[in-house]
Structure 1
Amino acid sequence: MTEHLKDTDTARKNRRVAVICAGVFCGMVGLSFAAVPFYDLFCRVTGYGGTPKRTDQYSDVILDRTITVRFDANVAPGLPWQFRPKQRQVELRIGETTEAHYIATNIADTNTAGTASFNVQPELAGAYFNKVQCFCFTEQDLEPGQSIEMPVQFFVDPEIVNVPELKNIKTITLSYTFHPLTKATAEAPAQAAKERIGG
């Protein structure tokens, strides 16, 4: 009888450990799906990793000091596009909102789609580079030979002059990279979400 009780106790403990392990595993899988959007949001809010901050407000302070913003454009392998800034750089006053334009052209003989990611160099300046409007993370569909002009509105936060490592900065580079977007990659996040909720 005592042996039977011990076996029952052991089996119950083993089941409890198995349930906890399964719960931890499911939680880790769920967090892995959530990590990318949360990290992206964190970067946009804080400017971490050279990611420009998104804002809906313009700066109400404009300094007499100027800074040069250079524009860089790249295309990832697998996307048959030409992509370039309309102008290579612009000089603006710190705090002043400026608009620049990028141009993308589909050089393939079929429809193609892409999305752009971005960053700022030096990385520390990302926290002070504020984008009011941009085309990043928005799907762009282009027909064969079609070109599209895409604006980006931004300003450099006047607080940048109070940062010891950046107070003498003269140039910031805003860099975009377009990545191919296929129907499969576009549907993957939606399918994954559907499977998680049992749809």
Structure 2
Amino acid sequence: MSDKQSDLDKNQPKRSTKKLTGYLVLSVVAMFGFGFALVPLYDVMCEALGINGKTNTVSVVQPRGMQPDYSRTVRVEFMSHIKPGMPWQFVPEERVLEVHPGEVIQTSYIAKNLSGNSLVGQAVPSVSPGMGATYFNKVECFCFNQQPLEGHKSAEMGLIFYIEPDIPESIHTLTLSYTLFNITSEVVRESSSAEPNAIASN
């Protein structure tokens, strides 16, 4: 009996270790799945709450014959946010504009690199309320491209947009917000990986 009991005692830690390993693997898989699902869940939540609507990420062409609706205006508010690790000033040239639906508007954001190093920024737009994002069209936008800026330099970043005339009359105000990210390290990494390929092709 003592020998059998001893064998059972020896096997017990192995079983516990296997069980713990199994739990850890399941936890990692669950965390990965949750992280993968965060983006669509976030999109669904934003759509349901009517916030942070996505705007077009490529330029659009104003439809021919589209006439501005001068009988009403939509208030457009401009905001800016800078992610940590991005030593820039980044502000809209104008905080508020009263816009006629169908009218093409030109404005800009002003960026200044406060560091002594050349950096690359990427602006990500959003519009609220979310249902209004589908009526907000950007003809030209600095957010379509990466924005390099030398140290202690400033730049005017242009934006041309229009609001579709059929925007619901219940929408009186749209807020356009840009979040600025520092993507310098990613750009440098991509450039470094591309150089060997270019050399090999030659």
For the superposition of Structure 1 and Structure 2, which TM-score range results when normalised by the shorter chain? 0.5 to 0.7
How far did 1:58 drift?
Answer: 4.8
Three-state SS of the structure 1 residue aligned to 2:167 is: helix
Q: State the alpha-carbon separation in 2 of the partners of residues 58 and 186 from structure 1.
A: 39
Matches within 5 A, 1:79-98: 79-98=86-105
Q: State the alpha-carbon separation in 2 of the partners of residues 155 and 149 from structure 1.
A: 20
Identity over aligned pairs, percent: 37
Cα distance 1:170–1:135, how it changes in 2: closer, same or farther (>3 A)? same
Cross-structure match for 2:61: 56
Question: Moved runs in structure 1, 4+ residues, more than 4 A?
Answer: 188-192
RMSD: 2.9
Q: State the alpha-carbon separation in 1 of the partners of residues 123 and 187 from structure 2.
A: 14
Cα distance 1:88–1:158, how it changes in 2: closer, same or farther (>3 A)? same
In the alignment, structure 2 segments of 5+ residues that lack a partner are: 1-35, 40-50
Aligned-partner residue type, residue 85 of structure 2:
G
TM-score, length-scaled by structure 1: 0.65
In the alignment, structure 1 segments of 5+ residues that lack a partner are: 1-31, 37-47, 162-166
Cross-structure match for 2:135: 128
Q: How many residues align?
A: 145
Structure whose CA Rg is larger: 2
TM-score, length-scaled by structure 2: 0.64
1:148 maps onto 2:155 in alignment: yes
Cross-structure match for 1:157: 164
- The answer to whether the 8 A contact 1:58-1:97 is kept is no
Alignment deviations for residues 24-58 of structure 1 (CA, whole Å, 9 cap, x no partner): xxxxxxxx9xxx9xxxxxxxxxxx96122341225
- The answer to whether the 8 A contact 2:52-2:129 is kept is no
Q: State the alpha-carbon separation in 2 of the partners of residues 128 and 181 from structure 1.
A: 29
